[in-house]
Structure formats: C-alpha cells, structure tokens
A = this chain, B = another copy of it.
Amino acid sequence: MNLKQHNTFSPRQTARAIGVSEASIKRWCDNGKLSYEKTVGGHRRLSLPVILGFIQDQGIKLRQPEVLDLPAAVGPGARTLEQACDLYEQALEQGDQARSLQIAFDMRLAGHSMAVIADKVVAPAFHALGERWQHGDVEVYQERHGVEITRRVLLRLKDTLVPPEPDAPSAIGATLSGDPYCLPGLMGELVLLELGWQAKFLGSQLPHTTLEKAVHDLNPSVLWLSVSSVGDPEAFVEANARLYALCLEHQCALVVGGSALTDQVRPRIKYASFGDSLQHLGAFAQGLSVYTRQNGHGFGQAQF
C-alpha cells in the first residue's frame, strides 16, 4: 500500500483516469499544461485539484473516475491476483460495472489467461460475496446484480479473443436441470475459446434429454457440464449415466466439473475428465486437441 502520498498521483494513474497514454500526461506536464511537483528522484506527482482543473479546462471526460477515488488501490491495476479478487468483489458489491470491467481488462493486459481470471478472480470474488451475505453484510440483490455485471464483463472479454477457425474442434456446454448457475458455464466457454475451440455455452437448466439431442445434432468433440448445484442426486446420476453412454457412442468426451461435485457424488458419476477448476478444463481441452492433431480426427476417450 502506498499511504504516504495522499492526493497525489503518478502520471500512469492520471493517464488511466483520463483515458490517454502515459506519454501524453508527461508531455503535458513538460509543456506546462499540467502543473506538477517532483520527488527528489525526479518522479512527477500530480495533485487532484490540478487534474480536475485540467479536465475542466480542456473539456475532457474522466474515463475512470474511480482511479482517482482509490489512489492506494491502483497502479497498473492490481498487482496480484488476490488483490484483483478483492477489488473485483468490492466493485460488484457497489454495483460498479465500469470498474469490474477495468479490473478484468487489467488482468488480461497483465497476460493472465481466461482460466486464471475465472479461477482466481471471478470465482473467489463470488465466494467472498457469499460469505459476506451469510454475515449479513451483503444483500441478495447485490449478489444477483453482480452476476449480471459479471456476465457483461465476460462477454466483453470474449470480444478480445480471436475467433475460432472454422475447422477447430467444437465443444458445447450447459448446466443440467436444477442448476441455475450460469457463470461457470460462461467462463468455460471463454476458456475453450481462448484455446481456439469452437465453444458454445447452451445455457443453464437444460434437461438431459435435450442435451442428448444437442450432442446428436451438433456432434461436438467435447461436452462440458458445469455442476454448481444438484437438485435430486438420483436424477443427476441417472442423467449423467445416460449422457456418458451417448457421448461414448458419438466419440465425444464428457467433462464434468463444479463445486457441487462433492466426494459423495463424484464416485457415482462417469466422465472422461473431471475438473475442479476451469484451468483443468482448459488443460484437458488442450491435451485433447494435441492428441487429435497427431492422430487425425476421430479419437477414443479411454485415454483420458
């Protein structure tokens, strides 16, 4: 934390807030358009009144006003994934979509994969939100709004991915009836898209019968099931067994994962791969596509 420098900002922070490049800020400082002070080492420090006066004079918009509200919490974005998670949770709690988006983009710029962002930032942020709800610090509407916000953030992130090749392997994902949680499924789509797959998240609460139809019609290489909630365990196990058999028949790998697959349920279900996290899903998909590239199309699934 940088607590010594209240109310002064680095060129980078200022640049982020205004929405221009760092170089421009420095130029304007040197031109005299922006007044500033120097540290003993020669670093520029800008005061809040100066920045606000500047944007008033020039008629510019503050693209990220929150950057100036929280000087301690910014820099090139959050340094660590944990910090990013905290900030993201905070942004969701405040219903601040712009800030949520910025945090997510910062992580992207820092080079983190979709899987890491999903596993280390988004998922734990919601976990923390749930904890705070149990303690009465957070209302349900805040959590739900957070889901809406995150959905939009994820779709924005999707636009940063290169579109898959037409001949890329395809995957479809869904949650089964009784499981209304759509975010893990959506994040799964992003993870697979990032790896070059043609991934489609079909939606949540799909009856297993229609998923069978989907496998039959779309003939994907992978079917991933996100399981965040299991309504009736017996029905789930039954649905899983039928899906597994169908996938075998269609040379499709069935991947399951999610927080609801506890030690009691997991032994009873069948799958080609099980993943605790989205990173697992990504790793499996990557291994699979390497395998098929080496051996041509059509692969068994006993190997996995």
Contacts and interface: CB of A to CB of B under 8 A. Distances in A.
Interface of A: 1-3, 5-6, 19-20, 24, 28, 33, 37-41, 58-61, 63, 69, 95, 101-102, 105, 108-109, 139-141, 144-145, 147-148, 151-152, 155, 159-160, 174, 180, 200-207, 209-211, 213-214, 217-218
B148 A102 contact: no
A201 B95 CA distance: 11
Copies assembled? 2
B102 A5 contact: yes
Given A6-B63, A148-B202, A148-B203, 18 more contacts: A2-B160, A20-B39, A20-B40, A24-B41, A38-B59, A39-B60, A40-B58, A69-B159, A139-B213, A139-B214, A140-B207, A140-B210, A140-B213, A141-B203, A144-B174, A144-B204, A144-B210, A145-B202
B1 A214 contact: no
A140 B206 contact: yes
10 contacts: A3-B108, A5-B63, A20-B39, A37-B60, A139-B210, A144-B202, A145-B202, A147-B203, A155-B155, A180-B180
Contacts of A39: 20, 60
Contacts of A60: 37, 39-40
A188 to B, nearest CB: 13
Contacts of A148: 201-203
